[in-house]
Structures are given as structure tokens and as C-alpha cells.
A and B are shown apart, each in its own frame.
Chain A
Amino acid sequence: MTPRTLVDKIWDAHVVRHREGEPDLLYVDLHLVHEVTSPQAFEGLRLAGRRVRRPDLVFAVLDHNVPTWPRTQPVTDPISRRQIEALERNAREFGIRLEGLLSRRQGIVHIIGPELGLTLPGMLIVCGDSHTATHGALGALAFGIGTSEVEHVLATQILPQRRPRTMEIRVEGALPPGTTAKDLILGIIRHIGVGGGIGHVVEYTGSTIRALSMEGRLTVCNMTIEGGARAGLIAPDETTFAYIEGRPYAPRGAAWERALACWRTLPTDPGAAYDRRVEIDASTIEPFVTWGTTPAQSEPVTGRVPDPDAHPDPRERAAMRRALQYMALEPGTPIQEIAIDRVFIGSCTNARLEDLRAAARVVAGRRVSPRVRAMVVPGSQQVKAAAEREGLDRVFTGAGFEWREAGCSMCLGMNPDILGPGERCASTSNRNFEGRQGPGGRTHLVSPAMAAAAAIAGHFVDVRDWRV
């Protein structure tokens, strides 16, 4: 048999129908649903008199616009409330499980899928959300889809899709001390550009990736879409299996053994060909800080804001100038002299327990700068509970951070947690687009440790110089 890649194997195992000249019909094993991209899909079903084909393969959660203040307080924004109530009603009507506002399993959809053992190797997963790529960290093929496709999958359990090209991103060597999975993925996007992965599914390989914890792998796969690729995966290995075993929806007993036997066949065969290959040397990774309005516009923390005039491409020059104007930054400014007003530690990129621990190590025994308002929003209620068992909440609140309930929060500014116009934020999230965290807000993407250090100092600092 011809050698196949991980992506080929999962793809082939899900083809319900293949006809030359048509998209393949792929069977969807798990469909994750949230309140923002689903109301029009359910409405479409109702109008057409269609049902949800497999409610037992659909899992819904409220995360995007829920307030992160205590859950005993009401949702005050009437439009948010209407959207929340719409999902509650749709879940009831179509018989779908919903992790609602009061659920102890509620959290950001891409955090709770892996956490509950719903995300497993070899599965095909979709969600009306571009960061669905996150689930690829466990060796699942996971695509973000739009609302029409959400409706399609609800009605048919099928995603019609053309076979994408494959791209291997191989990272070799040890990550330098003080750098994290977040810095690695920022470095990768800096290298390939925001459109570098268009039309491709990425497989991350190499010793650096193998050495990452599962939480680090989730961070890497999460930002795959920021490099333009719709899905990114990592072959399952012992780290994956150890992470999954015992989680609520994970298989048990004989089913666990059958699953393991299947999962061990998934890694790419020796000699299998990718359409494109990129190699990254892990020793080139530094703590990165974005200075612009795309996730590729970053510099090492020891660097300076770049000069657009030094760029050879005129359109790139124009884009850089516009970004610097929006960000109110002067070329040549040392990154470490950029003062900040807000710090956000949260989002599906960096709000798992490991992230909160890394931030807490930096914060312990120190005080947030008086010029900064800082908040920690755990990725899920379970992360929050685990962090509280370790006393991390007291480390943060003792230093002057706010400790909030789980949700997307200031990652996208759909709930009350937003930046004011002109406010500058060090954020552990994944997008620094204009207005992403609130109209006129300015976002700098960094790792959790870098965000924590910036909160204390009031400006960016190199965590490698930070004694913890």
C-alpha cells in the first residue's frame, strides 16, 4: 500500500461518498455548537421542516458572549440574553445536550471538548468556529465551518469537502528556556505569514512537538488558522493517550483497548508525501510580542517596533504603516518600552491549567502595576475549580488580578469585558485585529508568562530576565 499521512488516514476513514469532480461527503463524528454561529442554522432547519439527524453527536455550550461576573448575577445585555435563550430553546427542542450558564462543565468550547474526553484521535470534528483546529492536538481532523455548514451538518451529519493539500511543519530541537508553545506558534506564523497555509491542512511534526505537553500542543494547533490553514494536527502518542484516559466521555475497558489499537495506526507512514514542507529550528524561538494588527506582525521582546520603510514590498509597507498608526506605535521603539493599560489572561489559546500555573509563577508575591487593570478568565469551570484547589486564584487576586468565571470574555469582546478606545492590552489570546477586543482597543499577543510579567511591570519585559 502507498504510504499515507495522518490526514489521509482520517480523511479516508470518513468518506461516505466519493465521486470524481464532486466534493467528498465526510461523516462528522462530533459537532460542537455555540450560541453565536448557530441560531440561524437552527432557524433554517425549522423553516425547512428538517430534524437534527444525530443529536447524540452534537454538543452545545454557551461561551462566547456570557458575562464572566458571578453566575448568580443576570445577563444584563438584552441582545446577548436573546442569543443565549435561543440556544437554550434550540437545545431543548432538538434534544441536544447543552452546557449552560450554571453547568460545572461549562467553558470555552475548544477547552471543554478535550477536557471531557469528547475529542479523541482519529475523529472528524466540526464547529462553527475557526479555532476548531485546536482539537487537532489530539490527532483529530477538526475544521471550523460557517453557519450554512452548521445547518448542513445538523441535518445530515455530513460535511461536503474537497480534499485539502497537506503541509508538514516540522520543528526540531529544544525550545529555549523562557519560551513556550505560544511563542512557538507565534514564531511559526511569523515565518509562514497569515495566508501561508491557505488551502492546506497542517501536520506538526518533529522532536519539539513530541516534547510538548498536551496543553502546549493545544495552544499550537489552536492558532493554525492564524496562519491561514483550516486544520492542524499532531499524531497521537503516549502523551495523548495518558491525557485522554479516564476522562468522562473517553472509552473504557475493552472499548479503550480497541480505540488504542486504532489510534496506534494513525501516525503518518514513513515515506508518505506532503504537498508542502516547512522546517523550523526551535532554537530560533524567543518570547514574541505582536506589535501590529495581524498575528504575523511580531518581534522578539528584545527587539524594536519595525520600520515600514525598510520593507521591500509596497503593499506590505502600507499595511505596516496602517497597523502602526492603529496601534499608536513609532518605528524603532524598543518593545520593552511599550506601556500597557490592561492584561487579559484567557481564551482557548491559553486558559488551561498549565497556562494559569505559568502565569501564577511569575505573579507570586508581587503586585500588579498601579497603571494596569489585569484579569484572569479560566478557560472552563473545571480549569477554574482545579486552579482554586491549588490556590492559584489567591495568588492572582493577592497580586491585584481579577479572577473571573469561564468564557471567551475579552478574547473577542462580545461580553461586557472589552477594551476602551485606545486602551492597550497584553493578551494571551490569538487575534490582534483592529477592534478585536473592543472598538479602538489595541492588542499585543503574548504568552501567559509574558502577560503576567507585563502586568507587574506595567510594560513588556523579557521573562527570561525574571527571577521566579
Chain B
Amino acid sequence: MQPFTTHTGIVVPFDRVDVDTDTITPAQFLKRIERTGYGDVLFHSLRYRPDGTPDPEFVLNKPAYRDGTVLVTGRNFGCGSSREHAAWALQDYGFRVIIAPSFADIFANNAAQIGLLTIVLPEERVRAMLDAAAREGYQVSVDLERQTVTDAFGHRDAFEIDPFKKHCLLNGLDAIGLTLQHEAEIARFEATRPDWMPRVTLQDA
């Protein structure tokens, strides 16, 4: 996983609540078997008009936000399906940080797995950032070690993060590798599992 320590970037305001993963990456783009290349289809139905040309009204298409790397949005971001393609698309597009009043559980998990930082801030602070970012060129700096978001106007927000998640993000740790260190404990547990639990057979059971 890509480690995350600090990041400074332009804020892209996306003032919507309950943004679902079908909106982030529609199903017609889930058929690929690769992990990369989803940035172009991010927010597809909002970003492009039916004829395939970019919709100039959509925030990602406005020149001022082209280089944005911090997405600020409404509550319950990433609800709906478990598709990690949603997190891949945001990261592939260039986002490093997403700030919202709340995130859907599976989405937040998926983001953490790939080094995309999700930050929960109170509703009124998110609102203030959305307003600030409506003016061009609004930037914030995120410091994961200190758990802060700061801007050039002297605003400073502290955020909470699960300490283990923080540790893994800071060091870009391979989660599978971490679990495999506990092989002996896994094997011990495995030996005690009840015998009535099904085992899948290659022939019909």
C-alpha cells in the first residue's frame, strides 16, 4: 500500500449527501479485471454528458479544480455496494484525501486498504470548507501523524483516526503480511473449529 504521511492540495467541493458507489463508479465499468485505469470513469454520469463530452458545469471539469487532490463532501459518502473500484477510481484520478461528516463502513475500509485517507470532521466544519473551496485555489494541508487539517487562513482541525489504521497508513504496511505473522495462532484456532461447519467439496455434496 502507498504510505500516507502529509499532503497539501487543492480542495474540490462536492456538496452532496449519500453519494453512492454506483455514482462514483457505475456498474458498466466494473467488468475490467485490472485494478488501475478507473480514474477516467470517476463520477461518470455527472462528469460527462450523454454524448460523451465533459459537462463544464461539473466541478471536476472546472479548470480551477483540475489539479484538486482533496475531496470535501456530504455525509454517508460511499454508501451502497462494496466495490473497491470506487476507492480505486478516486485514487487513480488523483485524490489522496476525502473529508466528510461520515463515510459508509465498507467504503472507509476499502479506502484504508489502498492508502486513501478518509477524514471525518463535524458537519459545520465540512460546510465551512465547502464554502471556502467555492473560491478558487483553496488548499489544505493534512498531517496524519499529528491528525490535523490546516489551511492558509489559520484554521486548524484535529481529527480522530483508529490508531492501528494510522500506523498502517503511515508505514504503508502490507495487511496480509501482518496477518501471516500470526500463522501459529491461526493454525491453533483452526484445529478447534466445530465439525458441523460445512467444507466445500469439488464434487456435489
Indicate, yes or no, whether A interacts with B: yes
The minimal Cβ–Cβ distance linking A7 to chain B, given in whole angstroms, is 15
One of B2-10, B58-66, B82-90, B140-148 contacting the partner = B82-90
Q: Is A178 interfacial (CB-CB < 8 Å)?
A: no
Interface size of B by CB at 8 A reads: 63
Set of chain B residues within 8 Å of A149, measured between Cβ atoms: 109-110, 113
**Residue contact B82 to A228, C-beta cutoff 8 Å:** no
* Closest A-B pairs by Cβ, 7 of them: A148-B113, A146-B110, A39-B33, A259-B196, A195-B76, A146-B84, A251-B196
A229 CA / B28 CA spacing, docked (Å): 26
**Residue contact A21 to B163, C-beta cutoff 8 Å:** yes
A194 CA / B200 CA spacing, docked (Å): 35
State which size class the interface on A falls in.
35 or more
**Residue contact A56 to B164, C-beta cutoff 8 Å:** no
A120 CA / B197 CA spacing, docked (Å): 8
**Residue contact B35 to A152, C-beta cutoff 8 Å:** no
16 A–B contacts, CB within 8 A, in A order: A36-B31, A40-B35, A50-B176, A79-B31, A79-B32, A97-B200, A117-B205, A130-B81, A147-B110, A156-B176, A156-B179, A156-B180, A229-B105, A230-B106, A315-B15, A414-B28
| Per-residue B-contact encoding for A169-205, CB less than 8 Å = 1, 0 else | 0000000000000000000000000110011000000
Q: Is A212 interfacial (CB-CB < 8 Å)?
A: no
Set of chain A residues within 8 Å of B185, measured between Cβ atoms: 16-17, 25
A65 CA / B31 CA spacing, docked (Å): 8
Closest residue of chain B to A26 (Cβ to Cβ) is: B189
- List residues 226-256 of chain A with CB under 8 A from any CB of chain B: 228-230, 248-251, 255-256
Set of chain A residues within 8 Å of B175, measured between Cβ atoms: 148, 152, 160
A158 CA / B34 CA spacing, docked (Å): 24
The minimal Cβ–Cβ distance linking B40 to chain A, given in whole angstroms, is 15
A57-B200, A118-B200, A248-B204 given; A86·B79 CB < 8 A = no
- List residues 56-83 of chain A with CB under 8 A from any CB of chain B: 56-59, 65, 77, 79-80, 82-83
Q: Is B155 interfacial (CB-CB < 8 Å)?
A: no
Q: Is B16 interfacial (CB-CB < 8 Å)?
A: yes
Set of chain A residues within 8 Å of B69, measured between Cβ atoms: none
Set of chain A residues within 8 Å of B114, measured between Cβ atoms: 148
**Residue contact B179 to A152, C-beta cutoff 8 Å:** yes
Q: Is A95 interfacial (CB-CB < 8 Å)?
A: yes
Q: Is A379 interfacial (CB-CB < 8 Å)?
A: no
* B interface residue numbers (CB < 8 A to A): 15-18, 20, 22-23, 26-28, 30-35, 45, 50, 74-76, 79-85, 87, 102-106, 109-110, 113-114, 162-164, 175-176, 178-180, 182, 185-186, 189-190, 193-202, 204-205
**Residue contact B201 to A130, C-beta cutoff 8 Å:** no
Set of chain B residues within 8 Å of A255, measured between Cβ atoms: 195-196
Set of chain A residues within 8 Å of B200, measured between Cβ atoms: 30, 55-59, 96-97, 118, 249
Set of chain B residues within 8 Å of A250, measured between Cβ atoms: 198
Set of chain B residues within 8 Å of A39, measured between Cβ atoms: 33
A158 CA / B188 CA spacing, docked (Å): 13
A83 CA / B31 CA spacing, docked (Å): 6
**Residue contact A414 to B31, C-beta cutoff 8 Å:** yes
Q: Is A102 interfacial (CB-CB < 8 Å)?
A: no
Q: Is A48 interfacial (CB-CB < 8 Å)?
A: yes
The minimal Cβ–Cβ distance linking B69 to chain A, given in whole angstroms, is 21
Set of chain B residues within 8 Å of A412, measured between Cβ atoms: 22, 27, 81
Q: Is A309 interfacial (CB-CB < 8 Å)?
A: no
A27-B190, A256-B196, A433-B80 given; A130·B106 CB < 8 A = yes
**Residue contact B33 to A40, C-beta cutoff 8 Å:** yes
A146-B109, A230-B106 given; A23·B193 CB < 8 A = no
Q: Is A145 interfacial (CB-CB < 8 Å)?
A: yes
Choose among A48, A315, A434 the residue that contacts B23 (Cβ–Cβ < 8 A). Answer: A434
**Residue contact A319 to B82, C-beta cutoff 8 Å:** no
| Per-residue B-contact encoding for A149-171, CB less than 8 Å = 1, 0 else | 10110011110101000000000
One of A269-277, A330-338, A435-443, A444-452 contacting the partner = A435-443
Set of chain B residues within 8 Å of A228, measured between Cβ atoms: 76, 79, 104-105
**Residue contact B74 to A315, C-beta cutoff 8 Å:** yes
Q: Is A144 interfacial (CB-CB < 8 Å)?
A: yes
A21-B163, A30-B198, A195-B79 given; A144·B106 CB < 8 A = yes
A148-B175, A259-B196 given; A162·B31 CB < 8 A = no
Q: Is A363 interfacial (CB-CB < 8 Å)?
A: no
A144-B82, A249-B198, A258-B194 given; A433·B23 CB < 8 A = yes
Closest residue of chain B to A436 (Cβ to Cβ) is: B22
Set of chain B residues within 8 Å of A194, measured between Cβ atoms: 18, 76, 79
A157 CA / B189 CA spacing, docked (Å): 11
Set of chain A residues within 8 Å of B81, measured between Cβ atoms: 129-130, 412, 431
A56 CA / B114 CA spacing, docked (Å): 28
Choose among A156, A413, A421 the residue that contacts B27 (Cβ–Cβ < 8 A). Answer: A413
Set of chain A residues within 8 Å of B105, measured between Cβ atoms: 198-199, 228-230
**Residue contact B31 to A82, C-beta cutoff 8 Å:** yes
The minimal Cβ–Cβ distance linking A111 to chain B, given in whole angstroms, is 17
